[in-house]
Structure 1
Amino acid sequence: MSNYLRAFVPGGCSFFTIDLLERRKSLLVDRIAILRKVLAMCIGAVAGAADHAFGSNPPYGLAGMRQVN
């Protein structure tokens, strides 16, 4: 893994990537409904592909995020 510089700025967003160890598996696509429901409470946005997903955290934490039932 690269050594990334992480700047912590009050009110700033953070972005992340989720990778599958076995890149040929389609687990993220097969289970996208579950992934969206679980991440909806703490993640501002998610974009999924067959072998990886990108996401961003909301700028002010969980304040103002919608609740998922």
Structure 2
Amino acid sequence: MALIDLLDRLLTGGVVLTGDLTLSIADVDLVRISLRALIVSIRAEQWSLENSAAGRRPGQVTGRAP
């Protein structure tokens, strides 16, 4: 699997990055920061919003029956 394929799969589903940062002096914690970032492709998010607004579920076929 190529790196671009892996990146495409991750962005399609979305990735959440979390981390904690603690600044301390002489074993005394001065500042603690919790970081969270959501990374998702705009195309995947737009598709999700359009389908949720239309009341569709993933895998549901769109269009009318013949």
TM-score with structure 1 setting the length: 0.25
More strand by share: 2
Larger Rg: 2
TM-score with structure 2 setting the length: 0.25
